[in-house]
Amino acid sequence: MNQEEIKSLKEFSQEVADIIPYLHRFIYRHYASFFSKQKITFPQFVILDLVYIKKLINMKAIADEVKVSLPSITGIIDRLNRVKLVERVADPKDRRVVNVKITDKGIKVIEHAREARLEIIRYMFSNLTDKERMLYVSLLKKIKGFLYEDKK
């Protein structure tokens, strides 16, 4: 479909819905080799990345953020802790609360993952002009603003 043929939001939505799974699969295939080398799973990576961003976060907050049960998060954190990517830290104000923080080894994994992400993005957009890439970023920022910033 070219631009003239996209006549409605419904048609646009269908086309986007048809394209996105291809992009997801492409990105996941490239990340899969990274995960394999790092010996972590995609869910473990998602949690590790969250801990990296938050610096220090309690287990319940992790579960709430990723919409996964606390027992599931406990299992993921156990595995990440076993390979020394995160560590548990007792909350000095409340002994019942368990905080999680990323280790230096975990930071290296995240930094390598972010570089892998940049390589994927550079490849995906290498056939676009600078103008097309700037337009794409502008549209993504507008969508992000609509989804997050405007909902405060």
Which residue segments constitute the domains of the chain, with CATH numbers given? 9-127 (1.10.10.10)
Q: How far apart are CA 71 and CA 81, in angstroms?
A: 15
pLDDT digits (tens, 9 = 90+) for 70-116: 999 999 999 999 999 999 999 888 888 899 999 999 999 999 999 98
* Per-residue pLDDT at 31: 83
Q: For residues 48 and 106, is the Cβ–Cβ distance under 8 A?
A: yes
Read off the pTM. Answer: 0.76
Contacts of residue 54, Cβ cutoff 8 Å, sequence gap at least 6: 61
